[in-house]
Amino acid sequence: MKAVLLSGFGGSEVMKLGEVERPVAAEGQVLVKVVATSINRPDLVQRMGNYPPPP
């Protein structure tokens, strides 16, 4: 499956689209298919290393 792979803090220059193995749900777990997602400003600022992660 396709995934965005991160090599460190920064903007789009550290984000690469790549292929990873599809996860397998273990007994008692479920696998949820995500078709769309979004991020907000604090997520972007945190990715640039300028905002501390939540406790």
Q: Rounded to whole angstroms, how far apart are CA atoms 33 and 23?
A: 11
Please give the pLDDT value at position 9: 80
Please give the pLDDT value at position 26: 96
Please give the pLDDT value at position 19: 97
Q: What is the pLDDT along the chain (55 residues), one digit of tens a residue?
A: 899 898 888 877 888 999 999 999 999 999 999 998 888 888 888 877 887 777 7
Backbone angles phi, psi at 17, to 5 degrees: -80, 130
Q: Rounded to two decimals, what is the model's pTM? A: 0.57
Please give the pLDDT value at position 5: 93
Please give the pLDDT value at position 13: 86
